[in-house]
Structure 1
Amino acid sequence: MSHEEEKAYPGFSGRLQFISVVLALCMLILILRLWTLQIVKWDEYRSQSNSNRLRPQRLESPRGMIYGRNGLDERVILADNRAARDLMFVLADCNVEGVVPELVCQRLEQLLHIDGKALLSEIEASEKANQPHKQILIKRDIPVGVSARVEEYAYALPGVFTVIRPVRRYVYGKTGGQVVGYLGEINQKQLDARKDRYVMGDLIGQSGVERKFEARLHGKDGEMLVTQYARGVPQLRTDPYGNVYVEMDSLGHNLFLEDEIVPAEPGGEIQITLDIGLQAKAEELLKGEAGAIVVLNADTGEVLTLASSPGYDPSVFVSPQGGRERQELLTGKPNRMINRAFQEVYPPGSTYKILLAAAALEEGVIDRDTAFTCYGGFRLSNVSHEWNCWKRGGHGKVSVVDALAFSCDVFFYNVGRELEVDRIKAWSLKFSLGERTGLDLPGEQPGLIPSPAWKRAVYKNLVPDDPSEWNWYPGETINLSIGQGSCAATPLQIAVLMSSVVNGGYRVEPNIEDGSTGEKTRVMSEETVALIREGMRKCVEKGPPAPTGTGHAAYIEGMEIIGKTGSAQVVSLEAVEEYAREEDIPKELRDHAWFMTGVLDREPRIAMCILVEHGLHGSSVAAPLAKEMIEYFYASRERPAESELAQRAADGYGGAR
């Protein structure tokens, strides 16, 4: 401005300077404010912005793998995981003009044939509870084709998106299902004990390996942040850690912040000793019957087979379509949820004679030369009742070897009378009869070896007004001597008893986890083992020239097999005396059929127990199954894994629904 202009506009220069200063100050304040917003308080405001714009998305951790064996110690997958698509809805994301939740529900009902009214009620409930960001399940485990159709109509379904989660897959379905176990929704009691790693609605191991090793198999969930007002259905996505969780649609919606991912940590794996090929063979042999087959490595206690029939497919419990079948499993008869190999007890019958023989030989009550005469019956002094031998004509003069070979009841009546109940009980416990074997699976039953103390405690409650019923009578010891009366054992316990004969006199602790070492305790001398083996070898021999033993149906040329048959009464003889022929006896009244066996001259040496409920005779029903099991087991160790099993895993696995 010129000097003349300054005279014409007095004070203008000062005002200009003032305005310039004010503008400069404003700019400075603005810069300071921007610096504060973008530098000093960036993290705070970014967090606030994200809380409005983003929501946390849970990344479910996949469970750890369960491995088993097949034949030549080949490692096979028994349980792994597959990707399942769940269709979800978030009210806050339903923000397209002209599209209301009612309309979305109607479209979903037409598209997916779901109950649109029920879904709308759930949406309205979340709105009333002021939970607009609550994730509402529309449909679980939708097929890929359905997911594609939903994506096709994504523009008309705001708020609808898919979440991919890992779902358990049981590779062999029903085969080994009761051993592997199943998953079920966590209950409040379980949740209270595990709040740091679970939320309501999570699945948790409810039985078998899944339950026993839950802490190892369950992983740690992760989290990622997802844009809230996303529209459309997300596509398959792999996160930076290689885990497939899926969270982006074809239009770029539902973006998650890759630097905001807390990856899910998969659960740890478990290797078990179950031989899936042998397990499949056992279940095949039991088909149509209720019963169990147990096979152990007699030297290590490794559980090779824990077959139980009838069984179930654990895939039913992770399938959204399995509701009716689940209900039938949980309430139907016969009970398919228990593993009869170790969760059910039965009178052991004549298999218990092995225990009597071992106890009597170790106590010096009998020796090789001790003999009793069997005329077909037995009496106690001052007792009018007569206990019959199964062979009504009698066995004549019998030693311990022949008594085991031909299952003479009278011989063991005499042995039981000499031993008396307290010593029988004490020796039973040494062999894990009457107590749990130590199997590393939940739900094992201890069985029962009755005693005077047990009877008094029980009958004082049952018949408190009749003290005479509390007493133990000598006749009860006679019944116990052949595994009858109140005596009860699991097939696993009988297999453990068998293993002590096969391995040279040691009680082993059965184990399902590969590499775990159970206790091994000597319970018999080598001399006792030799005599019992001689009798059990003779039991399986086929005549002539030697007399045929009761277990000859298990005989295999060229193999050293030992065994013992058993038939256990389930009702009194009076209850079936009206039937002229055994075939006429109703199934539920027939004896249980037992056979315990072992192989001495092959590696590994195995011990086996077979029980067929109401099978009538161990000799004709259970022993032939043992022969097939033995032949299959040793043949499978000389050839590759069964192609049939491999095909089943590839095509017909239980997880495909």
Structure 2
Amino acid sequence: MSSAPIETHAARNPRLLAFYGLVALLVLVLIAGVGYQQLFQSWKNSEEERIQSQRRIIVPGPRGNIYDREGRVLVGNRARFSVVLNLADLRPELRTEYRRVVENYRKFPKEERPTGDQLARIARQAVAQRYLDQINGILARREQVKPRDLDRHFNQTLLLPYTLLDDLSPEEYARLVERLPVNSPLQVYASSVRHYPYGSAAAHVLGYVGIDNDPEAEDFGSDDLLTFKMKGAFGRDGLEKRFDALLQGQAGGAIYRVDPAGYKINPPLEKKAPKQGQNLTTSIDIDLQQAAEETIGDRTGAAVAIDVRTGEVLVMASKPDYDLNKFVPRLSSAYAEEIKTKGAWFNQAMNGLYPPGSTFKILTTIAALERAAIVPDRPITFCDGTVQIGGRTFYCDNGRGHHGHVTLADAIAYSCDVYYYEAGRLTTPDGIAEEARKFHFGQKTGIELPAETGSSLVPDPAWKKSRKNEAWFGGDTANYSIGQGFLLVSPLQMACFTASVARNELYTIPTLIHRDNAPTQRAPSIGLSAHERDAIVTGMIGTTTYGTASIITKGPYKVPGIDIAGKTGTAQKDVYEDGKFKGKINIAWFICFAPAEHPEIAIAVALEGDTIGETYGGGLNAAPVANAIIRKYVEKKTAVSTKPDFKVK
């Protein structure tokens, strides 16, 4: 019996092998793709998920404090209390209210029904108003939710609490803390804002802050996260601006996970506490500052007092001024307009430029002595009240001065113009200008304030030819020698000059920063002999004892036990209105240092008259301001020691 034939296949069918190879290749590609996704793309997917599900909140740090030289707070921070509503806690209530609103609007014709987005806004407003009504009931208010603000907050800053009421009083804060439930979506939120304990005192020195909508937090989370920022502050003027980097606090905040609707999920993934900025100690003595400002009152002008030894500015008063507390939390347009109308934005002390009047005679004296144009004990002319120069009549104190033959000390004390007309002629305008520049007139002082524009003008014949294309005349020299004409200086520069004369040195660099054991400033000597310097100081003491400022050493103005070396001045300033010349007002000047024998404090005061053509003298008007500063200075030193030592430390 024969067996049936068996069908067989070749062991290596080429087509089958090709099929197996294709399958193997596809499997390898699949494995490679999965491996690539797992090994190389997982980090990318994870990063995208992180960015989509995490949010960063930045909270600015409080700014540092600003102190006066004795450690009293001039600028600090106070708590600003607000009532906020945590919308994340209201999701169930918002959904319930939305359904109720939808149900109510079903009664309306379809074409009159609001859209879904409008219905959601109505529901949000109703819920927010219910909570605000709870606050109204506690505080006896009738506040209403602002729909636009609520919508903007919901769409742009949902992670942040929504502010229902801002800037609560301490009494309102206490009532809310007592009556609001601990687990309520309503919370009292405390933020930090600037506070100025002395109101308008030293306003132009301290400056003010503006709202910073973009505070930065270094080394906190990734910048690619969607970030919400609480508002901070930045310096806009004065020391607040100049030292903004120092005063600025270090921002902190938190990083949260959020749900698909954008609500945060507690607790935070990461949290960083904000830190307060560094403090700044100024050279200002607030007691002296207030004494100066109170004495100036409502007048326009400035007073600057400087520590002769260190150059530290003890007083920088500028009037009119403004209440710094009205800049918190923000400056209203009405108050900004009020400041503008009365000219209070302008820092008269630093940037006010005026002819210095007869206070400049001290500079003319130094220039004349340096060039041997005058000798202290020898009269150089005869004063009968007038003198003819270049066909013009120049008067001594408006024709009332008849000083006869005067020596240098009496020429200073009585402020004899005729003496200085001759001294200026003998010195020459170039000689006066050269000496003025040695004392750093004609340049900025470099004080630590922004926008110092008050670079004084020191004219000379070359300047007049260049600027006006005119020759320099004898009358120009006469005006120059008594601090009139083209010459312009600031009160700060005159205070620096006075401090320099007090130290018998050529210049003083002012500073608003106080340092313990600050070194004595050193500058080149003026170069006068002891006899020449004594003649100047004797004349300045004569000014305050029997001369043009004797008012401050008599009666109620007298400060016992101290000699004041001073010099008065009266200058004129052109007044324009709508571009038209209206007339001239007088500027009352007074400079001084005290004690005269061992100077510690130097002062310059300049006050504008308020009536065109009105006589406004330095002795009667400006000197009492300096006297108030010295009186307070002596009073404070006497309080420390029953036997005050007025010698330079």
Mark the CA change 1:266 to 1:125 in structure 2 (over 3 Å): closer, same or farther: closer
- The answer for the alignment partner of 1:317 in structure 2 is 327
**Retained in 2: the 8 A contact 1:431–1:497?**
yes
Mark the CA change 1:225 to 1:288 in structure 2 (over 3 Å): closer, same or farther: same
Residue 123 of structure 1 deviates from its aligned partner by: 3.6
Give the distance between the partners of 1:513 and 1:396, measured in 2 at CA: 48
Match of 1:419 among 398, 419, 427: 427
- The answer for the alignment partner of 2:445 in structure 1 is 437
Match of 1:561 among 555, 559, 564: 564
Summarize deviations over 1:213-237 as a string: whole Å, max 9, x none. Answer: 11111121011246768xxxxxxxx
The code of the aligned residue for 1:559 comes to I
Mark the CA change 1:151 to 1:46 in structure 2 (over 3 Å): closer, same or farther: farther
Mark the CA change 1:370 to 1:267 in structure 2 (over 3 Å): closer, same or farther: same
SS at match of 1:522: coil
Give the distance between the partners of 2:435 and 2:151, measured in 1 at CA: 68
**Retained in 2: the 8 A contact 1:346–1:490?**
yes
Give the distance between the partners of 1:45 and 1:161, measured in 2 at CA: 35
Residue 255 of structure 1 deviates from its aligned partner by: 5.4
- The answer for the alignment partner of 2:151 in structure 1 is 124
Mark the CA change 1:120 to 1:150 in structure 2 (over 3 Å): closer, same or farther: farther
- The answer for the alignment partner of 2:38 in structure 1 is none
Residue 636 of structure 1 deviates from its aligned partner by: 0.9
Give the distance between the partners of 2:361 and 2:587, measured in 1 at CA: 16
Give the distance between the partners of 2:597 and 2:244, measured in 1 at CA: 36
Residue 296 of structure 1 deviates from its aligned partner by: 1.0
- The answer for the alignment partner of 2:543 in structure 1 is 539
**Retained in 1: the 8 A contact 2:283–2:513?**
yes
Gaps of 5+ in 2: 1-41, 98-122, 217-222, 554-558, 576-581, 610-614, 642-649
- The answer for the alignment partner of 2:36 in structure 1 is none
Match of 2:240 among 210, 234, 241: 210
Residue 75 of structure 1 deviates from its aligned partner by: 2.3
1:529 equivalent to 2:533? Answer yes
Mark the CA change 1:201 to 1:367 in structure 2 (over 3 Å): closer, same or farther: farther
Give the distance between the partners of 2:245 and 2:520, measured in 1 at CA: 21
Give the distance between the partners of 1:398 and 1:187, measured in 2 at CA: 67
**Retained in 1: the 8 A contact 2:322–2:339?**
no
Summarize deviations over 1:50-75 as a string: whole Å, max 9, x none. Answer: 974x7433222111111113xxxx32
- The answer for the alignment partner of 2:10 in structure 1 is none
The TM-score with structure 1 as length reference comes to 0.72
The code of the aligned residue for 2:71 comes to R
If you compute each CA radius of gyration, which structure gives the higher value, 1 or 2?
2
Map residues 454-465 of structure 1 onto 2, 5 A cutoff. 454-459=463-468
1:514 equivalent to 2:517? Answer no
Mark the CA change 1:183 to 1:125 in structure 2 (over 3 Å): closer, same or farther: closer
Fraction of identical pairs, as percent: 30
Residue 276 of structure 1 deviates from its aligned partner by: 0.9
- The answer for the alignment partner of 1:385 in structure 2 is 392
- The answer for the alignment partner of 2:190 in structure 1 is 164
Summarize deviations over 1:94-113 as a string: whole Å, max 9, x none. Answer: 41232431213434665566
Number of residue pairs matched? 533
**Retained in 2: the 8 A contact 1:560–1:601?**
yes
The code of the aligned residue for 1:597 comes to C
The code of the aligned residue for 1:388 comes to Y
**Retained in 2: the 8 A contact 1:509–1:520?**
no
Residue 305 of structure 1 deviates from its aligned partner by: 0.9
The code of the aligned residue for 1:106 comes to Q
SS at match of 1:75: coil
1:84 equivalent to 2:41? Answer no
**Retained in 2: the 8 A contact 1:59–1:165?**
no
SS at match of 2:71: strand
Residue 307 of structure 1 deviates from its aligned partner by: 1.6
Match of 1:180 among 193, 206, 210: 206
SS at match of 1:448: coil
Give the distance between the partners of 2:340 and 2:162, measured in 1 at CA: 30
Match of 1:272 among 282, 287, 311: 282
**Retained in 2: the 8 A contact 1:371–1:400?**
no
**Retained in 1: the 8 A contact 2:544–2:564?**
yes
- The answer for the alignment partner of 2:116 in structure 1 is none
**Retained in 2: the 8 A contact 1:430–1:523?**
no
Mark the CA change 1:199 to 1:514 in structure 2 (over 3 Å): closer, same or farther: farther
Mark the CA change 1:597 to 1:139 in structure 2 (over 3 Å): closer, same or farther: same
- The answer for the alignment partner of 1:501 in structure 2 is 501
**Retained in 1: the 8 A contact 2:289–2:317?**
yes
**Retained in 2: the 8 A contact 1:496–1:508?**
yes
**Retained in 2: the 8 A contact 1:225–1:256?**
no
Give the distance between the partners of 2:132 and 2:280, measured in 1 at CA: 43
Match of 1:102 among 121, 125, 150: 125
Residue 616 of structure 1 deviates from its aligned partner by: 0.4
Residue 80 of structure 1 deviates from its aligned partner by: 1.7
SS at match of 1:540: helix
SS at match of 1:103: helix
Give the distance between the partners of 2:541 and 2:502, measured in 1 at CA: 11
The code of the aligned residue for 1:565 comes to T
Match of 2:273 among 263, 269, 286: 263
Give the distance between the partners of 1:458 and 1:86, measured in 2 at CA: 59
Map residues 228-307 of structure 1 onto 2, 5 A cutoff. 256-257=267-268, 260-307=270-317
- The answer for the alignment partner of 2:118 in structure 1 is none
- Comparing 100-109 with 280-289, which one deviates more in the overlay? 100-109
- The answer for the alignment partner of 1:487 in structure 2 is 487
- The answer for the alignment partner of 2:382 in structure 1 is 373
Residue 571 of structure 1 deviates from its aligned partner by: 5.1
Give the distance between the partners of 1:591 and 1:206, measured in 2 at CA: 33
Summarize deviations over 1:534-570 as a string: whole Å, max 9, x none. Answer: 21122222xxxxxx21121222453222111111123
The code of the aligned residue for 1:448 comes to L
Residue 358 of structure 1 deviates from its aligned partner by: 0.7
Mark the CA change 1:208 to 1:98 in structure 2 (over 3 Å): closer, same or farther: same
Give the distance between the partners of 1:270 and 1:441, measured in 2 at CA: 14
The code of the aligned residue for 2:510 comes to P
Give the distance between the partners of 1:131 and 1:61, measured in 2 at CA: 20
Gaps of 5+ in 1: 1-40, 230-252, 460-466, 542-547, 573-585, 642-657
Give the distance between the partners of 1:130 and 1:187, measured in 2 at CA: 14
Residue 79 of structure 1 deviates from its aligned partner by: 1.7
The code of the aligned residue for 2:73 comes to I
